[in-house]
Amino acid sequence: MSLKEIAAMAGTSVATVSRVLNNKDHRCNDPGLEKRIWDAARQLQYVPNETARMLRKGDNSSVDSPFTVDILLTRFDSIEEDAFFEELFQCIKEELIQNGCVLGDILHNVDITRLTAVKNDSLHIPFRQTLSTSEQASSLNISVKNNTGLIILGKCPSMFIPSLRSRYSYIAGIDRNPTDYEYDEVICNGQTAASKAMEYLISLGHKNIAYIGDCTYEARYIGYYQTLLLHNLPLNHINVHPTNQTVQEGFAAMVSILDSNERPTAIFCANDSTALGVLNALKKHKKKGYLPSVIAIDNIAESQKTSPMLTTIDIPKKEMSHLALMLLLDRKAGSHTEHVRLELPCRLIERESCSYLYE
């Protein structure tokens, strides 16, 4: 396997392939090209950096086969559907390159729905791309993947965890919602992030604050209403707008708010993608004299390009990616056996979308 083969599969030059795979700061103007390169590299089992050079020289004495990391995205059917996870995924790819690891299978929500119950009621996650269509439709049991770890992006249903453990010896999760120590995980607590966002809005004088986002066992929703209670503010259910936290649903929720007679002075969005939809709706459906403060969580790249620029709570994606891979490698080395939770802090990014309430 060579960079030339990857370039041929992706339909680009060897120089472009080299920049994408070996330069963590390089970004293609065409995101689709970057995705094709990574897909080709994964299919051809690309081995990066020093590990690849040593293997090509035939020096196997100090180099094991490269450690492979599969990715399980639990919330959406594809990485591209959520900008936060897309940026997180990019950080993970960079960490893999820097540590001589290989990107393996990418499992999405659709793979979870294909789980098949067998006689002992255990559940087995299928290989995404290595089985034929007929094999995927069968109740074939999948064996443990050797020398392969799994990084779970997002909240994984508890019922699937035993199956994941039966397939992977090394598992780490990255999320805003902690589990009950069911596997190693790196979190930036969504409840803490929500409380920080709410405290900021309240410090600006806002008391009538709406929430747009997931409300199902969601740490950010808990942080929203607990902060209201802490400040003796009522939880008005008219202000709660359950969504799947997409740009489209954020837009629709904001249109609904604009059409109502009771409009909040501030809006807390569970993620930046939702806030992008909210800001788009405010721009398209203007109400004279009504410009609520808007705050969200994630600090994705797009949040700096909105008008007004979005005030948000930063989630440290690069650090979370680095620590998740370190947990996998540390467990592989046998250096820890207990399930570990590493919690990183979030921080407020003050921009233009929030302002003091003058009454």
* Closest-CA residue to 287 (of 309, 320, 308, 265): 265
* Measured distance CA(256)–CA(77) in Å, rounded: 27
pLDDT digits (tens, 9 = 90+) for 17-35: 888 877 766 778 787 888 7
**The CATH fold of domain 190-315:** Rossmann fold (3.40.50)
Residue 125 is which amino acid? Answer: I
Q: Is the pLDDT of residue 130 over 50?
A: no
In the chain, residues under CATH classification 1.10.260 are: 1-46
Q: Is the pLDDT of residue 39 over 80?
A: no
User: H or E segment at 248?
Assistant: helix 247-259
In the chain, residues under CATH classification 3.40.50.2300 are: 190-315
Q: Is the pLDDT of residue 131 over 50?
A: no
| Range among 103-117, 189-203, 284-298 with highest mean pLDDT value | 189-203
36 CB-near residues (< 8 Å, 6+ apart) = 9, 10, 11, 12
* Measured distance CA(264)–CA(228) in Å, rounded: 14
* Closest-CA residue to 176 (of 197, 162, 160): 197
What is 1-46's CATH number? Answer: 1.10.260
Across residues 3-13, what is the average pLDDT?
Answer: 87
Q: Given its phi and psi angles, is residue 155 left (phi above 0), alpha (psi -120 to 50 degrees) or beta?
A: beta
Question: Which of the four pLDDT bands, split at 50, 70 and 90, describes residue 196?
Answer: very high
Q: Can you read off the two tokens belonging to residue 118?
A: 């067998």
Is the pTM value of this prediction over 0.85?
no
Across residues 98-113, what is the average pLDDT?
Answer: 77
Cβ neighbours, 10 Å, residue 285: 13
